[in-house]
Amino acid sequence: MQIHQTIAALRVARAKAGRVALVPTMGNLHEGHIALMTQARAHADQVIATIFVNRLQFHPGEDFEKYPRTFADDCAKLEAAGVEHLFAPDEAEMYPQPQGYHVEPPPDQAGVLDGEFRPGHFRGVATVVMKLFQIAQADVALFGKKDYQQLMVIRNMVREFNLPLEIVPGETVRAADGLALSSRNGYLSVDERAEAPRLYRVLTELAAAVRQGARNYAELEARAMNTLSSKGWAPDYVALRKMHDLQSPSAHDSGLVVLAAARLGSTRLIDNLEV
Ligand code: PAF
């Protein structure tokens, strides 16, 4: 695998790479990321993974400083997955001066759900992803459904800016007990890790109720939040939304997804399930 730390070096390699699939990450790679790399291979001649912990998408007080940085391990995993190129710039390469121009996703997409609890997060994500797209000039880019709202924001950005690449979603990869794989799972204590799969169970139960015909969405959401609270979680939201725009559904809408974010101890976990 070739490791490129500069935009110039990546561009030289990209020019010779044929059809390219891009998989942006912040590192600390797990099986969910590796599944995206494997999926990417089916779409392109060469795969470019990126590792960059993007300060712009963390707001003050979040875990930017302590976000796990495991570069050597990540490189070994990418090598084993057969990835051809890793773009791993430092902050000076990505932001040689403070970023003055930003991609501002509309508030109905980026100010709800996670955006409500993490102000500016999706602006930071959209801005760095736009930069990565301009740098890598990929034909296709892959993003996991675990970050469902992020996927929607990026898809809409690509459509509205007429960017010449295809966005391909990857399914969420889960541990045997149902917990969605996430770099932040590493923050959990042993007891918290044992409790963490409850988030997925709560979503599964809510989705099952909707599939069986329940339409009392507000009540179902409140019940799910109460279950989490009663087990020591601090839920930010459990919300049923329409898959395509993440707006609230009416009783006859189909194509729903239930999304949740909740804090367990000091770790904030998110998950979702298509209904
Ligand atoms: O999902 C992530 O890891 C990040 O939000 C991304 C897409 C790499 C942008 O920094």
What's the order of all strands across the beta sheet hosting 233-242?
Answer: 233-242, 256-264, 267-274
**54 Cβ below 6 A of ligand 1:** yes
Tell whether the torsion through CA atoms of 16, 21, 22 and 28 is positive or negative. Answer: negative
pLDDT of residue 89: 98
Rounded to whole angstroms, the Cα distance separating 146 from 22 reads 17
CATH superfamily of 2-170: HUPs (3.40.50.620)
In the chain, domain spans: 2-170, 183-274
Banded model confidence at residue 190, pLDDT cuts 50, 70, 90: very high
Q: What is the mean pLDDT of the chain?
A: 97
Helix 121-136 and helix 7-15: axis angle, to 10°? 50
Compute the C-alpha angle 160/119/104, nearest 5°.
Answer: 20
- Coil, helix or strand for 92? helix
What distance in Å separates the CA atoms of residue 184 and residue 155, rounded to the nearest whole number?
A: 24
Q: Tell whether ligand 1 has an atom less than 6 A from the beta carbon of residue 183.
A: no
Ligand 1 pocket test: pick from 57, 63, 102 the residue with the most ligand atoms within 8 Å of its Cβ: 57
pLDDT tens digits, 134-160:
999 999 999 999 999 999 999 999 999
147 C-beta closer than 6 A to ligand 1: yes
Token pair of 209 as six digits: 């109720």
The average pLDDT across 107-117 equals: 97
Q: Is 26 helix (H, G, I), strand (E, B) or coil?
A: coil
Q: Quote the pLDDT of residue 247.
A: 96
Q: What is the pLDDT at residue 115?
A: 97
- Residue matched to tokens 């400083």: 65
Q: What is the largest CA-CA distance in the chain?
A: 56
Mean pLDDT within 56-64 = 94
CATH number of 183-274: 3.30.1300.10
Mean pLDDT over 100-117 rounds to 97
Q: Which of 43, 49, 50 is nearest to 19 (CA)?
A: 43
- Is 206:216 a contact under the CB 8 Å cutoff? no
Which one of the listed residues 33, 59, 244, 252 is annotated catalytic?
33
Over range 25-46, report the average pLDDT: 98
Q: How confident is the model at residue 77 (pLDDT cuts 50, 70, 90)?
A: very high
* Mean pLDDT within 169-193: 97
Q: What is the pTM of this model?
A: 0.97
Q: What is the mean pLDDT of residues 15-36?
A: 98
Kindly indicate the confidence band of residue 124, based on its pLDDT and cuts at 50, 70 and 90.
very high
At 220 the pLDDT is 98
